[in-house]
Amino acid sequence: MSQVNVGLCGLGTVGTGVVKILQNHADEIKYKVGSELNIKKILVHDLNKARDVAISREWLTTDPDELVNNADIDIIIEVMGGIEDTNLLLEKAIRNKKHIVTANKDLMAVHGQKLLKLAKENQCDILYDASVAGGIPIIRSLTEGLASDKIQKIMGIVNGTTNYILTKMTDEELAFEPVLKEAQELGFAEADPTSDVDGLDAARKMVLLANLAFKMEIGLDDVEVSGIRTISQEDITFATSLGYTIKLIGIASIHNGKVEVSVEPTLLPKEHPLALVKNEFNAVYVYGEAVGETMFYGPGAGSLPTATAVVSDLMDVAKNIRLGITGNEYITPQYEKQLKEDNEKYMQYFLRMEVDDAAGTFQKITNVFTDENVSFAKILQLPSDKEKIAEIVMITHKISKQQLLNSRENLKGLDVVNEIISCYRVDGED
Ligand SMILES: NC(=O)c1ccc[n+]([C@@H]2O[C@H](COP(=O)([O-])OP(=O)(O)OC[C@H]3O[C@@H](n4cnc5c(N)ncnc54)[C@H](OP(=O)(O)O)[C@@H]3O)[C@@H](O)[C@H]2O)c1
């Protein structure tokens, strides 16, 4: 039986899971691939660290060249993280004809297109299924199972930390800060939670999904991003009373060849499948022209779930090597990038504002919306704790983002509007 040799960059959470799966499922893997997969070298920072897996000490090195310049190694698994240095390491590996499997969405969102092209030029594979939604095979589904369809919309809960925080805030009526602290103590949030709570992590994943779904070269700068720091307990209470759940949703959609990609707090009807995804779980809803609605659900992170995706990619590359068909994965973006303008982005919106509790207030506000041709699906007016102040909560019908921006600007000019407290997308009703 042929042998395929692997260099593993990183032996942390994911790397340890990869070694465990390769060891514990060795017979099944060998049977399915038709080759034996051997770890030859493992790149780490600290040679003396205790490891939670049985490995030969001789495998460990702190010198990347022992992997990327090693003539015996066929495939590099990159599970160490980082962007610029890691990119250089992988470029060098590809030029040395190594195939790549990576779980690194930060790297792939920034340098993915260049790496894929370089891999193709060198007849190498580069697979990255684990980089979006950990154990959920969503990249594999877009590139294989749904390959024959035209994808029209993807909606994803692709960040477990924010979903955990919003679940606690909703179910236990807690505020953002204490829940974040608890999530950090439990290991669901990083010490520096910025990339998660401000939506950047989810944005990187949506870039990868949008590129695959729409075959355009969409970059991080093309994604509108807002995180969950602004969501208050009052927002959640109002959303709940109107029949919605607030989630951080990544949306990528296409209409008339024009694309929109965003990550933002979004109100979903309580019964929407994504509204039912709780805690640190991830889910991706895909709407295809032919298939209709599909939904993928599972653990978005964690050692063994993520390693499952990594090892499945590894097995695909090993099979491709055996069949002599590596280097076929990269497809040049088929279409020129075309992004929707604000007047082409149609959505419902939730608006919450603090206004004077006086006769005529409502009339002035509705005049602003009438001028912009905006109408409403739901409106609530509630007394506030503050004297002579009321709160108005509205859900618009579908309007363009431009109509929303114009209305907000004109509302700010009204003497009866003290503050527009919050404004979020509403989706999932069509
Ligand atoms: N954790 C998850 O659930 C998850 C899910 C999906 C994707 N990912 C992605 O998978 C990658 C790895 O994540 P992780 O959670 O496994 O990270 P981690 O636990 O921090 O492990 C990183 C590993 O890489 C090694 N390493 C880091 N920088 C290095 C360098 N410059 N030179 C040599 N070794 C280096 C570390 O060595 P030492 O052990 O010696 O310190 C460690 O073994 C990241 O790109 C992450 O975004 C992770």
Task: Quick: pLDDT tens for 236-262.
Answer: 999 999 999 999 999 999 999 999 999
What is the reported pLDDT for 9? 98
Among 123, 174, 147, 130, smallest CA distance to 328 is for: 123
- Identify whether residues 86 and 188 lie together within a single domain: no
The alpha carbon of 44 and the centre of ligand 1 are apart by a number of angstroms equal to 9
- Identify whether residues 65 and 186 lie together within a single domain: no
What is the reported pLDDT for 104? 97
- Identify whether residues 295 and 146 lie together within a single domain: yes
What is the reported pLDDT for 189? 86
Hey, is 354 helix, strand or coil?
strand
What is the reported pLDDT for 393? 95
- Identify whether residues 130 and 142 lie together within a single domain: no
Phi-psi sector, 2: left (phi>0), alpha (psi -120 to 50), beta: beta
How many Å apart are CA 252 and CA 411, to the nearest integer? 29
Whether 331 maps to a domain, the answer reads: no
What is the reported pLDDT for 328? 80
Top mutation candidate among 45, 67, 115 for ligand 1, by most atoms within 8 Å of CB: 45
- Identify whether residues 294 and 308 lie together within a single domain: no
CB 184 within 8 A of CB 320: no
Q: Which amino acid is at 264?
A: E
How many Å apart are CA 248 and CA 256, to the nearest integer? 26
What is the reported pLDDT for 274? 97
Domains contained in the chain, number:
3
User: What distance, in Å, lies between the first and last C-alpha atoms of the chain?
Assistant: 53
Give the residue ranges of the chain where pLDDT is below 50: none
Whether 129 maps to a domain, the answer reads: yes
- Identify whether residues 30 and 129 lie together within a single domain: yes
How many Å apart are CA 202 and CA 106, to the nearest integer? 10
Its domain, for residue 319, covers 3-134+303-323
pTM value is 0.95
Does ligand 1 lie within 6 Å of residue 43's CB atom? yes
The closest-lying atom of ligand 1 relative to the alpha carbon of residue 107 is 45
- Identify whether residues 287 and 177 lie together within a single domain: yes
Residue 402 sits in a domain whose CATH number is 3.30.70.260
Whether 228 maps to a domain, the answer reads: yes
- Identify whether residues 56 and 185 lie together within a single domain: no
What is the reported pLDDT for 332? 77
Whether 319 is a known active-site residue: answer: no
Hey, is 1 helix, strand or coil?
coil
Does ligand 1 lie within 6 Å of residue 79's CB atom? yes
Which residues have CB under 8 Å from 95's CB, separation 6+?
118, 122
